[in-house]
Amino acid sequence: MDVISVIRTKRDRGELSPEQIDWVIDAYTRGVVADEQMSALAMAILLNGMNRTEIARWTAAMIASGERMNFDSLSRPTADKHSTGGVGDKITLPLAPLVAACGAAVPQLSGRGLGHTGGTLDKLESIPGWRALLSNEEMLHVLDTTGAVICAAGDGLAPADKKLYALRDVTGTVEAIPLIASSIMSKKIAEGTGSLVLDVKVGTGAFMKNIEDARELARTMVGLGTDSGVKTVALLTDMSTPLGLTAGNALEIRESVEVLAGGGPSDVVELTLALAREMLDAAGIKDADPAKALADGSAMDVWRRMIAAQGGDPDAALPVARDQHVVTAPSSGVLTRLDAYGVGVGAWRLGAGRARKEDPVQAGAGIELHAKPGDTVVAGQPLMTLHTDTPEKFDYALAALDGTFDIAAAGTAFSATPIVLDRIA
């Protein structure tokens, strides 16, 4: 086996054999295949695609590059959720304890933000003392005692994917749907969950800008999960407008706690409940009511235990940025558009996100929204508040926000886009 023949096969629109796939993933993980050679193969996959058999074998080879976790010792069925990323997407934070309060175990392996999309681990690290890095034994203990855990994936889980993802990020091949699907699913299958619900975002603030690409990605991932014995469902959800009223780390923690306390923005509550019902159904739990678990405080109880079990203080004051800048409405009327991508880039430029994985983030930085599409606004009223510890970044963030919203004349009819656009199972 040699890497040149593997590259040529896919370059010439051929189907990679199982032996070729197994060899190239193993050889790249061991350093036998060079980065420039794997980047050539990744580009060939981006341009020429893969069929379902190839994607399944590629995913299996990445899983085989590392360890697999097992939750058979738990007394509860396991259910996990993965989002393809968006702006203000804090859904994991209230969702994991909510589903645990309803009887499932939720082993949530999460990531950090990169670019305009926020990361769950960055948000949680704004809670004093909270730890993202847990050993497998610690993760299992938190899961067993609280019902939910949100933590970083260990180095032993699909190391081939970790190496390949970093390469794709700098070679213009992130968009390859076979590589996106296998990247996500290799980690989730290796994680050992019994069921999985995918939240595939669609819109300006999402990785998938149009619904047909999102459907293709969802179908591919559902197929991979099903073929591996994991009950998998995908919801396609709107990301043309930010979720909730905050984009930023500590800001989103505050909003998530509001949801767990029975309040919070209606769109965040709606999507949290929709995903919770899908997760519980996939786990075989039919008689639980997640809306009741939000209302009666049981989800909040799980949240507090989960945060404390990972070293965090659920009662501690969250960081607040030193400086604020208010953006006001230039005219009166109906807010008809608020672009998620522009808000995400603005929050990132304020310090809420990172351009490189090693960059630090500001816990208090981000954007607080005071109106959403469909709301009536008056000239001069606050539309959003920008938060940062580095006020010299305000102009840079304001440039990203220029042209991100539209205000129509008072009385203009407005029709909101549904949050859940489709379901793939």
11 is catalytic: no
**Contact assessment for residue 319 and residue 363, using Cβ atoms and an 8 Å cutoff:** yes
Examine the residue annotation and report whether 305 is marked as an active-site residue of this protein.
no
Tokens of 144: 């067993």
Give the whole-angstrom CA distance, residue 312 versus residue 319. Answer: 14
325 given a catalytic annotation: no
Buried b / exposed e along 255-291 (16+ C-beta atoms within 10 A): bbbbbbeeebbebbbebbbbbbbbbbbbbebeebebe
Does the annotation count 256 as an active-site position? no
Closest CA to 22 of 188, 160, 145: 160
In whole angstroms, how far apart are CA 235 and each of 212, 269, 274, 423? 13, 16, 9, 5
Reported as type and span, the H/E element at residue 312 is none
Is 229 within 8 Å of 361 (Cβ atoms)?
no
Strands 246-248 and 366-369: antiparallel
Within 10 A of 169 (CB to CB), how many other CB atoms are there? 14
Q: Which 8-state DSSP code applies to residue 418?
A: P
What is the side-by-side strand order in the sheet with 246-248? 246-248, 366-369, 382-388, 323-328
- The verdict on whether 187 is a catalytic residue reads yes
Q: Give the whole-angstrom CA distance, residue 139 versus residue 149.
A: 7
Among candidate residues 65, 83, 126, 183, the one labeled active-site is: 183
Which residue among the candidates 80, 161, 199, 238 is catalytic per the annotation?
A: 161
Catalytic residue among 10, 116, 163, 168: 168
- Tell me how crowded residue 40 is: count the other CB atoms within 10 A of its CB: 20
Residues recognised as catalytic? 82, 161, 168, 183, 187
